[in-house]
Structure 1
Amino acid sequence: MRASLTRRVCAAALLLTSTLAPAMAVAAQPGGPDRPSERAATARLLGEKIVPHKLDFEGTTVGGFSGVDRDRCTGEYVFLSDDRSVLQPARFYTAELDVDAGGVHSVDFTGTHPFLQPDGSVHPSPSAGDGKAVDPEEIRVDPRSCTYWWAQEGDRPKTAGAGPVIQPSVQFADRTGGYRGQLRLPANYEITMEERGPRRNQAVEAITFGSHGRVVTSAVEGPLLQDGPVPDLQHGALVRVTRQTRDGRVLGQFAYPIEKIFTESDPTSPWGPDTGVPSILAFPDAPDRYLVLERTWVAGAGYKIRLYDTTTRGATDVRATDSLAGQPVVPMRKTLVADFDTLGLSTVDNTEGMTWGPDLPSGERTLILVSDDNFVEDAVTQIVALAVR
């Protein structure tokens, strides 16, 4: 979609409170983000590659990439298109990426398959009017079976009666897109018409496997309706991050603090700013540590993409907290790893997906990121490789 801490009490609490909505009370963080035994990650640019706009591949339109993961069984990468079955049925692509310390040398697509419904049919377009349209946003390769888990945001109608409620989901698919079930999501991820749950286009957009495949972590893109307003120029917001077992049992839910809007919008634009969490990625050997991608779009200014090293350690478990507004919450700690404006990229676009790539001889690990061009002429499908230490 488009956009779409610290000693016990003092400095950290003041810093976070200054960026969060005033209705949210933020408690102090135990311990600093850069303890000697746990330094924050650093990143540098290796290279990038732009995929031709609306490239035709096996009769489909390549683009809308909002998720990417590496398949350990084949060494290939799988890209999720967020085409809501408008151009062609909701689908994914496989590709070989030639990536090393010298950059991204080539991107060669090797296959594509539509995601199938339980009855074996493809997902219909929204115009079909049967209430079954999906909004694919993230894909992960199961580290145990190399099958695919993919998240879709569903839909909250703009107004009551304007259309059916489509619940967000995390579904399982085989390697050719066949339906194999779905994950039971937390109750507060449910869209309701009582002004609770995820906002429109701000539901489950980020999932990741951790603890060697035993834990599935998800994040909603923006604050739940009951958790307070979206970020503005003065305040950030809290979004929920949930750790679950593979069968859906909730292990913990935490509040991640997203940044305030970085600049004013063009007053002539009909579009307001859009910000949130489009991707989360677990560190392989640290069960409570994640990379979190924050993506913001502002009319007249474009995109601001930032990458953070964050942890659930010491954060308040909010699974039983009905509303975060006004509650004394200790959020997840975070440290900036990269602001894409400073990386030297040819352009900063709508980056939405990320995954670990191969290790480098330097001891660094590659991080592969992809942008969603929304199938429009003034955007790009950009594949970026960073070296992370």
Structure 2
Amino acid sequence: MTSSLARRACAVALLLTSTLAPAVAAAAPPDGGGRPSERAAQARLLGEKIVPYKLEFQGTTVGGFSGVDRNRCTGEYVFISDDRSYLQPARFYTAKLDVDAAGVHSVDFTGTHPFLQEDGSVYPSPSAGDGKAVDPEEIRVDPRSCHYWWAQEGDRPKAVGAGPVIQPSVQFAGPTGAHLGQFRLPSNYEVTMEERGPRRNQAIEAITFGAQGRIVTSAVEGPLIQDGPVPDLEHGALVRVTRQTRGGRVLGQFAYPLEKIFAESDPTSPWAPDTGVPSLLAFPDDPDRYLVLERTWVAGSGYKIRLYDATTRGATDVQAMDSLAGRPVVAMRKKLVADFHTLGLSTVDNTEGMTWGPDLPTGERSLILVSDDNFADDAVTQIVALAVR
């Protein structure tokens, strides 16, 4: 969910309060420096499909898709909606996608379920003020059990006393949304009112399974407060990427170099540029290699969506570093795979989720991405299929 959500005056708006300032130092070049592998991944467009605006399905409003994954047990896809129970209870959808080398032919929703709390009740909206609201952003299908792991950003109040602190979390859910437990996140993902931890609306949005489900990797969307300021026109920033066992033991934490802002913001807009990592995806055959999605919105210029091939190999393990600000760490290396403005899409919107799709006869692997329309009539729910070599 982005600051453009507030710009569009949607009922589920969140105000991004970050300010612009110079970013932290990184030993690796932030703009594609280094090669993650001997040959970096390449991508081309297969096709796209636009889901009708505010499509009604089983008594719910389809939209706000912030994450997607493929369920190997059913062959279907699961989409998470970032509706914070304002329209209907926080929920997910299942769907059949007809995708092949010729494009995206159809999107057929097959079910929807709310996420449930431990007591079996649905999650309340933030307006309840009881500190139990969630902000769903990412969903993954456990490759072992086919249960769901879903990430939610929680909430950092705009000021002390302005509301309850809701901690980010990764929770487990059954096929109909029943609560099955919670994953232990690294301690520096915790929101504190001592101006430490994730910024408001820039907490955990990205999780992925690697090494046949043995490793869980997550990323915060933007730099932690103690790690330095958010990107501006001159500087990028470092965001933390954490590798853990399924039991939560931290195996390593690394600094991913986020790009600088790509254009000047419209000076008449009240909204600051919004940029971050909404999704990452492990390569199936390399436990140190990831596709990383970078999403940026700038008032007057719209969205820029870029996909990178990145690796933790050779990067500094920063888990013991309290702050990255000014530290000469060796960041993750990355290489540009695709700039969405060059793919030939009908529009470039708020793309937030991605998952591997089926293999293609060409030897390529399909990649499915989805955009979050923020339930706004000037945005789209766009399902994109790429072929990745």
TM-score by length of 2: 0.94
**Which residue is 1:138 aligned to?**
138
Question: Does structure 2 retain, via aligned residues, the 8 Å contact 1:33–1:40?
Answer: no
**Which residue is 1:17 aligned to?**
none
Q: What is the alpha-carbon distance in structure 2 between the residues aligned to residue 379 and residue 33 of structure 1? A: 35
SS in structure 2 of the partner of residue 226 of structure 1: helix
Task: Report the CA distance between 1:128 and its aligned residue.
Answer: 1.4
**Which residue is 1:12 aligned to?**
none
- The letter for the 2-side match of 1:263 is A
How many residues were matched structurally? 371
**Which residue is 2:377 aligned to?**
377
Q: What is the alpha-carbon distance in structure 2 between the residues aligned to residue 70 and residue 209 of structure 1? A: 12
Q: What is the alpha-carbon distance in structure 2 between the residues aligned to residue 151 and residue 189 of structure 1? A: 12
**Which residue is 1:264 aligned to?**
264
Q: What is the alpha-carbon distance in structure 2 between the residues aligned to residue 34 and residue 230 of structure 1? A: 25
Q: What is the alpha-carbon distance in structure 2 between the residues aligned to residue 304 and residue 51 of structure 1? A: 21
Q: What is the alpha-carbon distance in structure 2 between the residues aligned to residue 145 and residue 165 of structure 1? A: 32
Task: Report the CA distance between 1:90 and its aligned residue.
Answer: 0.2
- The letter for the 1-side match of 2:140 is R
Task: Report the CA distance between 1:22 and its aligned residue.
Answer: 5.5
Q: What is the alpha-carbon distance in structure 2 between the residues aligned to residue 34 and residue 319 of structure 1? A: 24
**Which residue is 1:203 aligned to?**
203
**Which residue is 1:290 aligned to?**
290
After superposition, give the CA deviation of every residue in 1:14-71 in whole Å (9 maximum; x if it has no partner). xxxxxx9756332258xx8448x63100000000000000000000000000000000
Q: What is the alpha-carbon distance in structure 2 between the residues aligned to residue 73 and residue 111 of structure 1? A: 15
Moved over 3 A (4+): 20-23, 32-35
Matched, 1:57 2:81: no
SS in structure 2 of the partner of residue 288 of structure 1: strand
Q: What is the alpha-carbon distance in structure 2 between the residues aligned to residue 201 and residue 111 of structure 1? A: 28
**Which residue is 1:185 aligned to?**
185
**Which residue is 1:107 aligned to?**
107
How is 1:191-340 mapped onto 2 (pairs within 5 angstroms)?
A: 191-340=191-340
Q: What is the alpha-carbon distance in structure 2 between the residues aligned to residue 28 and residue 59 of structure 1? A: 50
Question: Does structure 2 retain, via aligned residues, the 8 Å contact 1:236–1:259?
Answer: yes
Question: Does structure 1 retain, via aligned residues, the 8 Å contact 2:155–2:201?
Answer: yes
Instruction: Provide structure 1 residue ranges, at least 5 long, that are not aligned to the other structure.
Output: 5-19
Cα RMSD of the aligned pairs, angstroms, is 1.3
Instruction: Provide structure 2 residue ranges, at least 5 long, that are not aligned to the other structure.
Output: 5-19
After superposition, give the CA deviation of every residue in 1:229-256 in whole Å (9 maximum; x if it has no partner). 0000000000000000001000000000
Q: What is the alpha-carbon distance in structure 2 between the residues aligned to residue 362 and residue 216 of structure 1? A: 30
Q: What is the alpha-carbon distance in structure 1 between the residues aligned to residue 156 and residue 38 of structure 2? A: 40
- The letter for the 2-side match of 1:129 is G
Q: What is the alpha-carbon distance in structure 2 between the residues aligned to residue 89 and residue 21 of structure 1? A: 38
SS in structure 1 of the partner of residue 383 of structure 2: strand
- The letter for the 1-side match of 2:287 is P
- The letter for the 2-side match of 1:267 is P
**Which residue is 1:42 aligned to?**
42
Question: Does structure 2 retain, via aligned residues, the 8 Å contact 1:3–1:275?
Answer: no
Matched, 1:345 2:326: no
Question: Does structure 1 retain, via aligned residues, the 8 Å contact 2:22–2:231?
Answer: no
Task: Report the CA distance between 1:205 and its aligned residue.
Answer: 0.4
**Which residue is 1:69 aligned to?**
69
